[in-house]
Amino acid sequence: MLVGAAPFGVIFGTLAIGSGLPVWLTLGLSLLVFAGSSQFVAVSLIGSGTALPVIWLTTFVVNLRHALYSATLLPYARELPARWRWALSFWLTDETFAVVENQLRLHSNARDGAWYWLGSSLAMYCNWQLWTVVGVLLGQSVPVLATLGLDFAMVATFAAIVALQLRQRPVLFAALVAGGVALLARGLPYKLGLMLAALAGVAAGVLAERLAERVNRPTDPQASP
Amino acid sequence: MNAYTTGESVLILLGMVLVTYGIRLSFLVFGHRTAFPHWLERALRYVPAAVLTALIAPMALAPQGAIDVSLHNAYLPGTVAAIAVALWTRQTLAAILGGFVVYGLWRWLVV
């Protein structure tokens, strides 16, 4: 996981600097927001001069899945003091959730679990900061990126991130529909096209998942709703 | 980026922090129930892929504003290469570099 996050941290730092974000804002996003996907999205939106409320709304939508993690981990955190829950919440990301949820489900020792959770969180956090700094330094020393197709760097990065999820077939549908709608609605103001496309893509993903279930288990009356 | 003053940049950051931290705190600190509607649980998993694709589709397919699927659009072969390398190697960095090589060569040789 730590190794897996490294290229994203580096690319984030490089893209952010290349897009003209000040160093403090780039580091601030990693230090305080600490949410990979939304940081990438923010770089893209900030780079194109998007209105503030749109940036916040998009951040909300992109990170809303963290509420799911927050809810899933609650049973393991009920007994913890409030300051622990405030702290652990701050570091809740996709990677931490995946590691910690698995560990806590298999070994439900509350006290050790909390320390494992904290340790994983801190490791991911420091790792992300380290690679962001590397990316910032790279972005500063390779200003060519700005002239040599920063937009393409962003396209290639996002395409690669999505491509890695394409083995899940519904993600393919979600991506195709989101891309199509975004393309058609690209002229709308306030990045409305982005919101429409995200909504349509998510709906397509859910629909594809349902259809796949129906095809795979046509005779099972207990198939999930 | 020149579009924002320093104050606005601070606001962007603070707003993003509040929104993100608020979501993470939601259940762990303020929540009591853990039941999440199943449909919502599913839907949320598709959000990042949908948003990222929605951001790049217009950039790759209509870089100048109008849809351009001609040979003059180097974004297309570059993006296809990035996706292909990603599927093949499962490595993000390799995919980006591969995409860049094809994009660069295309601009040099074809456009």
Give A97-141 pLDDT, tens digit per residue.
888 888 887 776 666 788 999 999 999 999 999 999 999 999 888
Give B38-73 pLDDT, tens digit per residue.
788 788 888 888 988 998 999 899 888 888 888 889
B48/A contact by beta carbon, under 8 A? yes
pLDDT at A223: 46
> Distance from B102 to chain A by nearest Cα, in Å?
11
Could you tell me the pLDDT band of residue A37, with boundaries at 50, 70 and 90? confident
B36/A contact by beta carbon, under 8 A? yes
pLDDT, mean of residues A38-47: 92
- Contacting residues of A for B4, CB less than 8 Å apart: 46, 49
> Distance from B16 to chain A by nearest Cα, in Å?
6
| Burial label, B71 (beta-carbon count in 10 A; 0-12, 13-18, 19+) | exposed
CA distance B14 to B18: 6
Give A4-26 pLDDT, tens digit per residue.
677 889 889 998 998 889 999 99
Could you tell me the pLDDT band of residue A165, with boundaries at 50, 70 and 90? confident
Helical spans, DSSP H, in chain B = 6-28, 38-45, 47-61, 75-89, 92-109
Q: What is the DSSP letter of A92?
A: -
List the single residue in A with minimal CA-CA distance to B94.
A160
A173 pLDDT higher than 80: yes
- Contacting residues of A for B28, CB less than 8 Å apart: 70, 73-74, 77, 85, 88-89, 92
pTM for the model stands at 0.80
B82/A contact by beta carbon, under 8 A? yes
A225 pLDDT higher than 60: no
A52 pLDDT higher than 50: yes
